Amino acid sequence: MVAKNLGFKDFIPPYTKVKRKDVLNGVNYASAGSGILDESGDNLGEHFSFNKQILHHKKVISQIETLQGNKTYTKDYLKKCLYTIHIGSNDYINNYFAPKTLHKRHKFSPNQFATILINQLSQNLKASCAPAEKRLFGKRNTCVKEINDALNIFMAKKRILLADLNRNLTDAKFVIPDLDIPKNVVPQFEGNILVNNAPCCKVSTKLRTRGQCLHTNRTCYGRTRYWFFDGFHPTEFANIFYSSKMMLAICKLL
């Protein structure tokens, strides 16, 4: 959605399929299930961790240097690039608060775990209301306070990190978009109240596929009225909302 709002005609191609001549138009390094920590999302199967995504970006930079034939020009070219990073939720959903990981919560307090994430994220750079989480923690109409409190610690530390990056990496600009839904506003879509406390499909409760739509189940009718497509992932309508928030943050950088 952000790419569309920026004027791109097509989606940014994924790293595994982008052609060498097209890397100058942008690359999508995202990998479903990945987190800041390498082990986050291992319960979901093969994926590219954030560390691996950074390595992929370094390879693309080498390709750009070869295409342009001038390292100085490439360096100036990269200064004009826009990077959007959406990562961290899997470190909580599929790591710290995942089923059968109670030992990790006993070993690390929320503050300690947030510090681990920030330290790792710092090296790389220099989801409490999800239906599946509410079901796991026995909530229905409210977000999970335990997860919210842990995420708030992480977010506070992340803001400190970005302030530090902006002070020390003067050739780059870092910003965190405000993606919170206003608490005093009932979300609506074309006059209809949005369903934001249930997924658009029946989801699996099995450990490996927890929160994902069942293969034998049909999605809901009128999915544009739902905030969550499955137990974790937002619908197109929610992504439109998030992308508009991100565009506001991006405009501040221009």
Q: pLDDT tens digits for 185-208?
A: 445 555 555 777 778 888 877 766
pLDDT at 144: 66
Domain boundary among 37, 67, 87: 87
From 161, 176, 191, the end of a domain falls on 176
Range of the domain at 135: 88-176
Structural domains in the chain (count): 3
For residue 149, is pLDDT > 80?
no
Place 156 in a pLDDT band, splitting at 50, 70 and 90.
confident
- Could you give the 3-state DSSP secondary structure of residue 46? coil
pTM of the shown model: 0.66
Torsion of CA 203, 206, 211, 215, to 10 degrees: -40
Q: Which residues of 61-86 are buried (b: 16+ CB within 10 A; e: fewer)?
A: bebbbeeeeeeeebeeeeeeeeeeee
Do 250 and 209 have their domain in common? yes
Domain boundary among 37, 72, 87: 87
